[in-house]
């Protein structure tokens, strides 16, 4: 589809906070090729649901783009104007595509947010953002640009509707809350998959760090904050270093003592271990407990030395026990009131990993 009819655009792109009767997503796209001194426009058009094949507009675009334009030796800038933000399945598919094709940059302007209160839909937008997509709400200027570039407007000017600016501001604030870091909690499937405590775990290329920060007071401790970090893709920054940067900017104070607890899906890499150990050496008022679901490259001496350096600087490093998994589930997962269900030999794997860690941290490892 080359252009939208005016009535279609006005109805389906109206930026209502809650919109009924709009069960179709329209995707207006522009593809540019990146050259040395700028960009060259390649194509623009409109995609929508393929009813007969059940493809959503985003999936339809990806198939078309890969078939007609994608090339490993060229860089592309892709811009989308969407009537609805992507569903979780489309968000995952697009994020996976961006992770594989680093030569494609994607900007997503969305008129509305689809099920923005649902953790799974929020997690999908997070995933896109993490993989390098720029995700934004369509501004009044974006609606005007879309009208001029993708609507059969017969030369007529774009007419803003009532409350366009107010709705834009509300949706923009909501999206900022969704994309903010740290995250509040994990989705249940994410937790069960990424925190599974196997000795050898494939396809788990992301580290999740669930944290709790307490301040020590004379009678006990005061809870300050909790949340979830994950690896950042652009620019690359591991979860541990993201936490340190945030903690130093928002919490750290030289005349107060802090207790920090981490639940990690993977133990730290050597570089993160060194930076965290250096931080602990410089800030003796911070105590750190690291509870990890799995050991990352536990047979590699550099990774083993990294764990030892953390222990030597005062960090308590331990394997997550069945009780720790339960605690993490209750505090850091959108569990909808469901109880934690142990899976895949949690107790036996805990004993095996604890023995490995004891060997690593021992004096003769």
DSSP 183: B
What separation in angstroms does the CA of 345 have from each of 196, 304, 317, 352, 355? 10, 25, 22, 11, 16
Position 180 scores a pLDDT of: 77
Structure confidence at residue 179 (pLDDT): 86
* Of the candidates 235, 265, 263, 261, the residue with the CA atom closest to the CA atom of residue 247: 261
Domains and CATH numbers, the chain: 6-179 (3.40.140.10), 188-361 (3.40.140.10)
Interaxial angle between packed helices 301-312 and 346-361, expressed in degrees from 0 to 180 and rounded to the nearest 10: 80
Q: Where are the beta strands (DSSP E) in the chain?
A: 4-5, 27-35, 38-47, 75-82, 104-110, 134-137, 151-152, 186-187, 208-216, 221-230, 258-264, 286-292, 316-319, 333-334
Predicted TM-score (pTM) of the model is 0.68
Separation between Cα atoms, residue 153 and residue 171, nearest integer Å = 26
Token pair for 336: 């909808």
Residues 6+ apart with CB under 8 A from 337: none
Q: What is the DSSP code string of 26-73?
A: -EEEEEEEEETTEEEEEEEEEE--BTTTTB-HHHHHHHHHHHHT--TT
- Give the total residue count for the chain: 365
C-beta of residue 167 within 8 angstroms of C-beta of residue 224: no
DSSP 201-251: --S----EEEEEEEEE-SSSEEEEEEEEEE-BTTTTB-HHHHHHHHHHHHT
Any idea what DSSP says for residue 268?
A: P
What pLDDT, on the 0 to 100 scale, is given for residue 53? 57
Give the strand pairing for 151-152 and 104-110: unpaired
Catalytic residues: 240
Q: What is the pLDDT of residue 55?
A: 82
Beta carbons within 8 Å of 155's beta carbon, 6+ residues apart: none
DSSP state letter for 348: H
What's the angle, vertex CA 146, arms to CA 142 and CA 147, rounded to 5? 115
Residue spans of the chain under pLDDT 70: 50-53, 232-235, 363-365
> What confidence score (pLDDT) does residue 37 get?
85
């Amino acid at each position: 589809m080359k252009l939208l009819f005016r009535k279609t655009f006005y109805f389906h792109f109206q930026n209502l906070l809650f919109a009924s009767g709009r069960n179709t997503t329209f995707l207006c796209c522009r593809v540019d090729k990146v050259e040395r001194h700028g960009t060259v426009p390649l194509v623009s058009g409109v995609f929508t649901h393929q009813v007969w094949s059940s493809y959503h507009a985003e999936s339809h675009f990806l198939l078309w783009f890969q078939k007609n334009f994608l090339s490993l030796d060229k860089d592309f800038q892709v811009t989308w104007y969407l009537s609805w933000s992507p569903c979780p399945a489309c968000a995952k598919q697009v994020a996976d595509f961006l992770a594989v094709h680093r030569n494609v940059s994607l900007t997503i302007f969305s008129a509305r947010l689809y099920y923005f209160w649902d953790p799974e839909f929020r997690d999908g937008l997070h995933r896109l953002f993490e993989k390098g997509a720029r995700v934004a709400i369509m501004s009044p200027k974006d609606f005007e640009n879309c009208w001029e570039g993708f609507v059969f407007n017969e030369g007529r000017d774009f007419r803003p509707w009532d409350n366009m600016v107010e709705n834009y501001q509300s949706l923009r604030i909501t999206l900022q809350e969704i994309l903010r870091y740290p995250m509040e909690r994990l989705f249940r499937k994410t937790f069960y998959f990424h925190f599974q405590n196997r000795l050898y775990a494939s396809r788990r290329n992301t580290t999740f760090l669930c944290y709790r920060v307490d301040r020590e007071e004379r009678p006990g401790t005061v809870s300050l904050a909790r949340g979830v970090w994950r690896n950042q893709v652009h620019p690359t920054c591991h979860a541990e270093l993201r936490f340190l940067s945030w903690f130093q900017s928002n919490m750290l104070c030289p005349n107060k003592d802090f207790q920090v607890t981490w639940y990690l899906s993977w133990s730290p890499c050597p570089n993160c271990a060194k930076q965290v150990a250096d931080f602990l050496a410089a800030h003796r008022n911070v105590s750190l407990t690291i509870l990890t679901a799995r050991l990352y490259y536990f047979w590699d001496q550099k990774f083993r030395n990294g764990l030892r350096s953390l222990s030597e600087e005062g960090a308590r490093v331990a394997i997550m026990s069945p009780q720790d998994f339960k605690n993490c589930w209750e505090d850091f997962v959108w569990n909808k009131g469901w109880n934690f269900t142990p899976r895949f030999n949690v107790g036996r794997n805990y004993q095996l990993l604890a023995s490995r860690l004891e060997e690593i941290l021992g004096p003769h490892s």
